Structure 1
Amino acid sequence: MSMYRQLWFAIILSTLIALAGSLFASTMSSRAYLNEQLKMKNADNATVLALSISQKNIDPVELELILSSLFDNGHYASIKLLDTAGKVLIEKKAAAEQLQVPDWFMKLFPIQSTPGLAQISSGWKQLGTISLVSQSGDAYQTLWKSAQEMCIALTFSGLIACYLGALVLRRLKKPLNAVIAQAQGMTERRFIITPESNVPELKQLSRAMNSTVSLLQSMFAAEAERLEALRQQANSDAATGLANRAHFLAQLQVAIEEENAPAGSLLMIKLSGQGLALANKTLGRNKTEALLKDLGKLLRHYQAQLPDGFAARLNGTDFALLFREADAEPIAQKLLADIEKIFAVMPEPCAIFIGFGNYEYGISVGSLLAQIDAALASAEANGISNICKSAPLNIDQAPRSADEWSKLILRAIEQNWVKLAYFPVISSDGQLLHRESALRLMFGGEWFPAGRFLPIAERLGLTEKLDLIAIKLALDELQKASSKDDIAVNISAQSTQSTSFRAQIKSMMLAKPEASKRLWLEIPENGAFANIDGFRAFHKDISGTGCKLGLEHFGRQFDKINLIHDLKLNYVKLDGGFVRNIELNEANQAFIKGICVIVHRLALSIFAEGVTSAGELDMIKQLGLDGATGPELGRMFPLKEL
């Protein structure tokens, strides 16, 4: 029984006991009063009768007539005349009264009409005794009516007491519920600060809980700051704050292997070595380093503004900017102008060279870098600041025009030329956790990966429709009797912001509740953090369906980890950029190990993305991750075995 029910039970029970006690005490008091009144009435009436008879010389016949007349006109139960020896000379008894009083009440509260006794005398001579008993019916009627009125009054008082008790309980319940929610949040690794109650005892409890939550939150924040510093140390250039070469190459590898992502662009920036040498000589080392820091700040600004932006310093004079946008030339021109403004303080201009090109799913890192290096070399050829675009990448099935792509995508949707490709996500002990899916569309008899058509789909506003198709395909697969494995579906953060999308996905999952319990939905970390309120609304809408919710590419914005406290996620997938060559990178090993500790304290599972080698797989097992996915797992667990 809950505490509130126990309190209600105690209030009701105590009220009933008080009512019963008050009613019983009042009734007993009234009964005693009526008994005493009857006793006094009987005594007074007997005395008056005896005196009236004593003053007259009445013969027996006349005496009987007087007693009969008195008995018939009065409310007496009995009248007796006894001689001096105690012998009954005359006796009158009334029949039993017909009362509108329950028998149980009269048995529970009996009224005793004590006989009134008086001596009849003539002078000093005693002639006999009068015994007179009044009827008790009126007393019972009075007592019953009094009890009823008292019961009504006490019941009304009890209802008022219960109402006041409800108000008190409601006042106590609100802060108690807040403390309970706070304690529940702590078990779910969510930190909630509640307002302090006005009730002194509860105020102390709220203050103690808030102090505990603040302490845990500060400890968590301190650990997150330590890990963020470790991440910066392991993956960043100390002078500019940008990613270092090793981390950039790992991130580039992940970007071109992500088939669900749209195509993107790579810019490589080179500063003239002679210009920097002259700056060192004329401005001094400190001012030159300040210029490089300003350049790092500028590139971080571009990184934040561009979709999936990622900036790095490759060496002393070489920088790179990676982002998900195919039209890079306007960005390159604006970037060149901004960099020139930074180095305008130098006594002589510093030449700035930019080479750029596009990439998409299917190109190798070596081929892409070769193309961009060639463009950068072309930009350097004249020795002055310049921008040069790389030659088109030689990829089979190169994208057609936007109009052609639009027709192909819409036709594929209309003809239901859609399917899901599956990749294994394996636990650290080698068990299949779920199958990660990727949408495919068929164009001209060939199945195309999502990365080839997503950019056009986003421009056409078809992202929500494609996400709904992927979820429907996954639910249909899970509904099959032969399907035993859970399925994960990647959906865009843009779709989750739409109320109509949330309503449709909820309806689809509620229609297939058993399949929904085996569905995993994952959203890119940057998209979720970009609109955290929209993500919370999405989570709230689907929370009753039983599906699991997670973040992919986790760790790129680790400084925002505090935002996931109250999201009630089920898992995260660590970005493959941190996993690449992890067996050789001790600093990243410490960072990932720390991430695992924090994520597990949040009661979440954590899996590694993009595992490409047995060495990486062995190391992530040692670091405490719960599982992994990637090309290496695909080779170990081919789809035909799933």
Structure 2
Amino acid sequence: MLLSLLVSVAVSTVSARNYLAQQLHVKNVDNAASLALSLTQLPKDEATVELALAAQFDTGHYRLIRITNPRGEVMQERTNFVDPEGVPGWFVHLMAFDIEPGVAQITDGWSQFGALTVESQTSYAYESLWDGTRQLALIFAGGAILIGLLGTLLLRRTVRPLDAVVHQAEAIGNRRFITVAEPATLEFRRVVVAMNALSDRVRAMLEQEARRLERFQRDAHIDKVTGLLCRDPFLQTLDTTLQGDDENAAGSLALIRINGLADLNVAYGRKAIDGLLAEMGAALNAIVGQQSGWGASRLNGSDFAVLAPRSMEPHRVATDVQQALREVLERHSMDTGITLPCAATVFTHGATVSGLLTRLDGALQAADRQGDSAINVARAGDADTTPIHEQLERWRSILADSFAERAFSLATFPVVDLQDRLIHLEAPVRLRWEGEMLAAGHFLPWIHRLEMSSELDRRVVDLALSLIGEQGRPVGINLSVDALIDPDFPSWLGHRCAAAPDAARQLWLELPEAMAFRHLDAFAHLSREAKAFGCRMGIEHFGHQVSEIGRLHDIGLDYLKADGSFVRSVEKNPANQTLLRTLCTIGHSIGVIVIAEGVRTEEERQALEALGIDGVTGPGVVDYR
């Protein structure tokens, strides 16, 4: 547009200049002929000629009037070479007039008196041409601005749907398969329709695979009668929980036995008792479904177990379980003669499955011998006998001092790909207290109970950014549910990342599967905030809620960490092999890498490689390059 404006002004100015030059030339010729005729008729004495010439020149419209004799000698001459006022020199130079002067002959009778040369004044022409050019430029510029504004408004309205197209394209590039409304612009509509179709296909694929995985998991891991976990998957989950390095590594475990179940089966028939057991399973699932990480299992025909991480009150857990089963029996009027002995205990980080079950089996037998629905809480040591409120106050003091003294730090464990190249350093939090370095599983349950998780999340983020700055290697940290439910955390994280942009690009953030699905909108918001600064987002302990995987299509995940309970002895477990293989296929289809947690042996690692796992971490992963 600017070029067309300049060309238009230039063409108009040159045209005006040529017109003025032509008119001045005609004036020169006409004035020379008229003045020559007048002088021819006058006496030719010097005074008369001079007066006539001066009278004509003094009108001010001439820059030169000259009379030369036949020999070319100047007889009379008047000049007025003045510069035009208010006209730039560059314009005069650029638009210089080249005008032929007017020439006429003066006669004296039948003889030639002399030649008259007339040049009109050009300063007026320059001034007029300059004013005209300037006005024309202003008019053209105003018109161009007006047209530009109108064009901008029209273009903005036309390409407004492009913002949505760009947003969708960026989202898909970040593995967020969203759909947007179809714009009215034909060209954009075709692009949006194609990308919406892509997002819909990805969503449909995820939902289809989720249903298939759920059916498979139900067939492989779920008791068909009760809908609870089978014994082996439950014990694998328990083992993974005990060896974990998070807030779930401490809690309560309860066993309950239905004495008289065989008699009910004889009295009412298998079909009726299967229905009763299904209701009992639903009741237990209702209890564990209210808390993340909890689980329930049917260990054998009449024994049931409930795993309750983070709950340090085993008697309450046992009471809730016992009451839930009793209500089912009473609802069917089958409670007569039925007892529900129960045993419960507290577990802590590092305990063993065999040790816990041995302790609970002895307590359950003792409760059974009492002949009533007794609850027997098994104690592992003196710490278990301390009242819960005293333990809370003790830990409140310890943690308050630890925050004040900055006693928290990060340990690092490698997460590597199948060529032993570092993906990132997994950095669980540690607490130094009284000369001892406490693993996260020892104090995180108390952090959670005392509602200090948000403060710890912030401390861990700062420690991770500092560690990245020191070592220059990517670091992965675990965040608690408070990072999702605290409305100020995403903006706080954004400020921290903005202050250390290079370190933020090497920060990997992950949350537990249960929390991510429970607060999916908040997780999506946190993910968008973090990824704006180059952080990576992932979900840990993945695989227990595979039916929900279709909801991840628009989150923009970078990685998934398959729970260690599916990894344990995977080379001997075809069911878990199928689950992990399918999980890898789904993850790769949406550009997500899949990492296996808790890898212990080379046999597990080789089996995982064959299944398509991208990376591994755990006690068996030590070296990296």
TM over 0.5: yes
The separation in 2 between residues aligned to 1:444 and 1:467, in whole angstroms, is 23
Q: Secondary structure at the match of 1:150?
A: helix
1:525 counterpart = 2:507: no
Task: Name the structure 2 match of 1:462.
Answer: 452
Task: Name the structure 1 match of 2:478.
Answer: 490
Task: Name the structure 2 match of 1:597.
Answer: 585
1:264 counterpart = 2:254: no
**C-alpha displacement of 1:71:** 3.0
The amino acid across from 1:305 in the alignment is Q
Q: Secondary structure at the match of 1:305?
A: coil
Task: Name the structure 2 match of 1:229.
Answer: 215
**C-alpha displacement of 1:146:** 0.8
Is the 8 Å Cα contact of residues 226 and 281 (structure 2) preserved in structure 1? yes
The separation in 1 between residues aligned to 2:90 and 2:37, in whole angstroms, is 40
Task: Name the structure 2 match of 1:255.
Answer: 241
CA deviations over 1:188-217 (Å, ceiling 9, x no partner): 321122333343322333233322332333
Is the 8 Å Cα contact of residues 315 and 377 (structure 2) preserved in structure 1? no
The separation in 1 between residues aligned to 2:172 and 2:400, in whole angstroms, is 48
The separation in 1 between residues aligned to 2:343 and 2:332, in whole angstroms, is 26
Is the 8 Å Cα contact of residues 425 and 474 (structure 2) preserved in structure 1? yes
Is the 8 Å Cα contact of residues 68 and 92 (structure 1) preserved in structure 2? no
**C-alpha displacement of 1:343:** 4.2
Matches within 5 A, 1:228-377: 228-262=214-248, 263-271=250-258, 272-280=261-269, 285=271, 288-324=273-309, 325-344=311-330, 346=332, 348-349=334-335, 351=338, 353-358=340-345, 359-377=347-365
Task: Name the structure 1 match of 2:123.
Answer: 137
The separation in 2 between residues aligned to 1:17 and 1:487, in whole angstroms, is 54
Q: Specify whether residues 382 and 495 from structure 1 end up closer, same or farther in structure 2 by C-alpha distance, changes over 3 A only.
A: same
The separation in 2 between residues aligned to 1:34 and 1:409, in whole angstroms, is 94
Q: Secondary structure at the match of 2:340?
A: strand
The separation in 2 between residues aligned to 1:354 and 1:414, in whole angstroms, is 46
Question: Greater CA deviation, 60-69 or 580-589?
Answer: 60-69
The separation in 1 between residues aligned to 2:159 and 2:607, in whole angstroms, is 51
Q: Specify whether residues 373 and 27 from structure 1 end up closer, same or farther in structure 2 by C-alpha distance, changes over 3 A only.
A: same
The separation in 1 between residues aligned to 2:453 and 2:597, in whole angstroms, is 23
Q: Percent identity at matched positions?
A: 32
Is the 8 Å Cα contact of residues 513 and 542 (structure 2) preserved in structure 1? yes
Is the 8 Å Cα contact of residues 507 and 536 (structure 2) preserved in structure 1? yes
Is the 8 Å Cα contact of residues 424 and 436 (structure 1) preserved in structure 2? yes
Task: Name the structure 1 match of 2:83.
Answer: 98
Match of 2:21 among 14, 31, 35: 35
**C-alpha displacement of 1:266:** 2.5
The amino acid across from 2:543 in the alignment is G
The separation in 2 between residues aligned to 1:421 and 1:121, in whole angstroms, is 118
Question: Greater CA deviation, 247-256 or 363-372?
Answer: 363-372
Match of 1:451 among 433, 441, 449: 441
Matches within 5 A, 1:455-604: 455-467=445-457, 487-495=475-483, 497-498=485-486, 520-539=508-527, 542-543=530-531, 548-604=536-592
Question: Greater CA deviation, 418-427 or 199-208?
Answer: 418-427
The amino acid across from 2:201 in the alignment is L
**C-alpha displacement of 1:248:** 1.2
Q: Secondary structure at the match of 1:552?
A: strand
The amino acid across from 1:630 in the alignment is G
Task: Name the structure 2 match of 1:10.
Answer: none
Q: In angstroms, what is the RMSD of aligned CA positions?
A: 4.2
**C-alpha displacement of 1:238:** 3.2
Q: Specify whether residues 396 and 433 from structure 1 end up closer, same or farther in structure 2 by C-alpha distance, changes over 3 A only.
A: farther
Task: Name the structure 1 match of 2:166.
Answer: 180
Question: Greater CA deviation, 619-628 or 26-35?
Answer: 26-35
Given the two structures, how large is their TM-score scaled by the length of structure 2? 0.82
The amino acid across from 1:268 in the alignment is L
1:25 counterpart = 2:11: yes
**C-alpha displacement of 1:129:** 8.5
The separation in 2 between residues aligned to 1:235 and 1:446, in whole angstroms, is 40
CA deviations over 1:303-332 (Å, ceiling 9, x no partner): 211242212333454433222213243444
Matches within 5 A, 1:86-165: 92-100=77-85, 101-111=87-97, 113=99, 132-165=118-151
Is the 8 Å Cα contact of residues 409 and 441 (structure 1) preserved in structure 2? no
**C-alpha displacement of 1:392:** 1.7
Task: Name the structure 2 match of 1:623.
Answer: 611
Is the 8 Å Cα contact of residues 567 and 599 (structure 2) preserved in structure 1? yes
Task: Give the paired residue count.
Answer: 614
Question: Greater CA deviation, 213-222 or 242-251?
Answer: 213-222
The gaps in structure 2 that reach 5 residues or longer are none
**C-alpha displacement of 1:253:** 1.3
The amino acid across from 2:355 in the alignment is S
Q: Specify whether residues 47 and 412 from structure 1 end up closer, same or farther in structure 2 by C-alpha distance, changes over 3 A only.
A: closer
Given the two structures, how large is their TM-score scaled by the length of structure 1? 0.80
Task: Name the structure 1 match of 2:56.
Answer: 70
Q: Secondary structure at the match of 2:229?
A: coil
The separation in 2 between residues aligned to 1:474 and 1:92, in whole angstroms, is 96
CA deviations over 1:576-607 (Å, ceiling 9, x no partner): 12122322221221110111122233433322
